[in-house]
Amino acid sequence: MFGFINKLKLLAICTILLAPVLLTAQTTDTLKEAEIRAKTNPTNDPKVNAFAPGQKLVVIDSLTLQQYKMQSVSNLLSQQLPVFIKSYTFNGLSTLSFRGSSAAQSQVLWNGVPIQNSALGIADISALPVLLLNKVSVLYGGSSALYGSGNVGGALLLENDVAIFDSGKRALSLSGGAGSFGQYSGAIDGSMAGKHWYLSLKGIVQTALNDFRYTDDSGRLNKLTNGRTASEALMLHAALKTGVASVLSLSAWGQQYSREIPPALFESGSQKKQTDGSLRLLADWTKHTKANTWYAKTSFITDNILYDDAPIGLHSDSRSSQYYQEAGLRHVGRKNSQWLVFLPLQFTWMQEPVTHADKQQLKAAVAAAYSIKFFKERLNIAANARAETANAVQYLLPGADASFALTKWLALRANVQRTYRVPTLNELYYNPGGNPYLKPEQGWNEDAGYTAKFKAKNFVLTHDLSAFNRNIQDWIIWIGGAIFTPHNIAKVHSRGIETDNRLEYSVGKWTLHLSISTAYVIATTESSYLPNDGSIGKQIPYTPRYNGRLNIGGAFKNFYFNYNHSYTGYRFKNYDESDYFEPYQTGNLQAMYGTRLKKHTLQLTAQCNNIWNQHYEIIAYRPMPGINWLAGFRLGM
């Protein structure tokens, strides 16, 4: 696996050296790529575009993606959206939580394929570089009928652009960056195309010392030790037009993330190290006719986690793999109706790290979705269903949602879905600690909301509100002392309200914006199988009740600036609410400038994070850094 990663690194270096010879210069103004919200087909996935009209979808605009190009998806989401990112310090694992759900209940999809670690059932979004992606979207609420077991709280959609066949079209950009705590990065992004073929390459290399200073519980100032990180990632995308309306595309995404794990506040030191390697391969074929779209995709993903703690003689080599395939047919009818039938299959396996025994899980399904529009397309109704089997256990996942444009400025939406999550391989078989008697999580998810949009000569005001309710039976948690074991805790009730508000004002060459997003989430244990359980009626640990983001800034000619302010409310450390974290707030400044250099373009970015030097912890005993900065450039040729 890691030999393959080294070959990818060699290929990246060779490409960087040869790219100026292979690719001719292009003249594109980087700051003019921004589109605040996509108006049609916000994603490349027809399941979202056509068959989820009642679900809340937030698309990160392209200008924001440019600002975070040399950073991780974790940094992007934590600063821009009111979702909770559970981050184990500056260089540690980061997981995503939607509306009070657990990390295992939040799916991460790359071009429609789930990429969570097949053994753990979670994805480390701190190891996902924004540079490799063209679109980043968040789909709120459960949609198990469309995406299968595990889609309980929501989904993070990561996408690459569809190939554009244009003879002679070539592009190349080189990027670099540096920042606090010894952060350095370099990247390449290039593409070329002909009338019947397309080829693109993205690669990024990053390293950091992460030796920031922090204040411990006794008030003493210390410097973080054993915090180095190094990562390399490379993505290759090739596409071939195989007919008048058919395309075959191949994608390969290889990466390696090596990190030292610093000591927790209660530890005197640490020599822990971890290396995460992954290889993701995807083949995708589509064919369009007048009314039908046929598609088929197949992928293979392998993950390898090497963990080492030399002082206690602990060495672990965890390997897991996934094979996923899906074939389907989408038909567009005459009377504003369309339907989709598809057959997904997912086979996952892992090698148990102690006994080296092989454990497998097979999920196969038949799914269908139907949507129809009425009243001149103002009312859009969709229904979907999925019959799935996992290791001989069968279940049905129905769902329905709708949207209605009540007026030109007010639109309503509603969504109801049955949710279901099969225990992961680690939850069932990890040694020591796995529990083969776990029950699947299951329940119902309902949400509704509205969007009001007002336009005048110089400004646009958008207000969005969502209310959600979710009841999950047999919720899975890990509890214990020296050895943690997963258990079902009977029933968890999550509910809350989210708001998104945005004002855009244009005057002369100025474009100004102000946005405020909030989330109020109550996620409590309603009943428990455990005797004398003190968690009844209490908030699920590490689930903030209040969460909010503010962005204010603007653009003038080729200059862009933004101030981001984040608020995270009280979070409880344990299930009986006996200990908690104080709320914390962070402020972040971003600036970007683009200009032309003859036939080239130059884009400069700068970012100052935690400008108020807030001392805080997201995970207990894992301090986060104070004020820090990051600067970079992008040269388009």
The answer to whether 315 and 297 are in contact (CB under 8 A) is no
Give the chain's end-to-end CA distance (angstroms, integer).
33
pLDDT tens digits for range 130-148 = 999 999 999 999 889 999 9
* pLDDT of amino acid 274: 94
pLDDT more than 90, % of the chain:
70
Question: What is the Cα 623 distance to its own chain's centre?
Answer: 23
Question: What is the Cα 144 distance to its own chain's centre?
Answer: 17
* pLDDT of amino acid 473: 95
Question: What is the Cα 294 distance to its own chain's centre?
Answer: 27
Residue 219 has pLDDT above 90, yes or no: no
CB atoms within 10 A of CB 134: 15
229-241 and 491-507 beta bridge pairing: unpaired
pLDDT tens digits for range 331-360 = 998 889 999 999 999 999 998 766 778 899
Question: What's the mean pLDDT when you consider all of the chain?
Answer: 89
Residue 14 has pLDDT above 70, yes or no: no
**From start to end of 21-153, where are the E strands?**
57-59, 84-87, 94-97, 106-110, 113-114, 135-140
183-193 and 197-208 beta bridge pairing: antiparallel
The answer to whether 406 and 453 are in contact (CB under 8 A) is no
DSSP 613: -
* pLDDT of amino acid 40: 56
DSSP 72: B
213-215 and 221-223 beta bridge pairing: antiparallel
Q: Give kind and range of the element (H or E) at residue 183.
A: strand 183-193
Residue 223 has pLDDT above 60, yes or no: yes
- The token pair that represents 82 in the structure block: 């009111």
Residue 34 has pLDDT above 50, yes or no: no
DSSP 621: T
DSSP 19-56: HHHHS------GGGG--SS-SS--SS-HHHHHH-TTS-
Rounded to an integer, the average pLDDT of 499-517 is 95
- CA 614 to CA 601: how far, in whole Å? 37
pTM of the model: 0.91
The answer to whether 626 and 610 are in contact (CB under 8 A) is yes
Burial code (b: 16+ CB inside 10 Å, e: under 16) for 473-493 equals bbbbbeeeeeeebbbbbbbbb
Beta bridge partners of residue 259, listed in sequence order: 229, 274
pLDDT more than 70, % of the chain:
93
- Give all strands of the β-sheet with 135-140 in edge-to-edge order: 57-59, 135-140, 154-159, 106-110, 113-114
Secondary structure class of 253 (helix, strand, coil): strand
Q: Which residues contact 408 (CB under 8 A, 6 or more apart)?
A: none
Secondary structure class of 627 (helix, strand, coil): coil
Residue 30 has pLDDT above 50, yes or no: no
DSSP 295-306: EEEEEEEEEEEE
Residue 149 phi, psi (nearest 5): -55, 135
Residue 23 has pLDDT above 60, yes or no: no
- CA 155 to CA 108: how far, in whole Å? 6
- CA 215 to CA 624: how far, in whole Å? 10
Rounded to an integer, the average pLDDT of 89-95 is 81
pLDDT tens digits for range 563-591 = 999 999 999 988 888 899 999 999 999 99
- Closest by CA to 554, choosing from 610, 507, 608, is 507
* pLDDT of amino acid 26: 34
Residue type, 234: L
Most confident by average pLDDT, 115-124, 231-240, 349-358: 231-240
pLDDT tier at 432 (50, 70, 90 boundaries)? Answer: confident
Rounded to an integer, the average pLDDT of 266-290 is 94
Longest CA span, the chain: 73
Looking at per-residue pLDDT, the higher value among 14 and 265 belongs to 265
Rounded to an integer, the average pLDDT of 229-257 is 95
Q: Give kind and range of the element (H or E) at residue 332.
A: strand 314-332
What is the domain partition of the chain in residue ranges?
A: 2-636
- CA 634 to CA 31: how far, in whole Å? 12
DSSP 426: H
- CA 569 to CA 84: how far, in whole Å? 11
The answer to whether 631 and 606 are in contact (CB under 8 A) is yes
Rounded to an integer, the average pLDDT of 9-13 is 39
- Closest by CA to 94, choosing from 74, 68, 71, is 74
State the fold for domain 2-636: Maltoporin; Chain A (2.40.170)
Residue 361 phi, psi (nearest 5): -150, 130
- The token pair that represents 565 in the structure block: 């302010």
DSSP 218-229: TS-EEE--S--E
- Closest by CA to 69, choosing from 627, 636, 586, 529, is 636
Rounded to an integer, the average pLDDT of 230-254 is 95
Most confident by average pLDDT, 141-155, 210-224, 375-389, 467-481: 375-389
The answer to whether 585 and 547 are in contact (CB under 8 A) is no
- The token pair that represents 350 in the structure block: 């892992």
DSSP 103: G
Residue 287 phi, psi (nearest 5): -140, 125
User: Burial level of 264, CB count in 10 A (0-12/13-18/19+)?
Assistant: middle
- CA 97 to CA 106: how far, in whole Å? 6
Residue in the structure block whose two tokens are 């036939």 = 599
- Closest by CA to 256, choosing from 226, 227, 228, 279, is 279
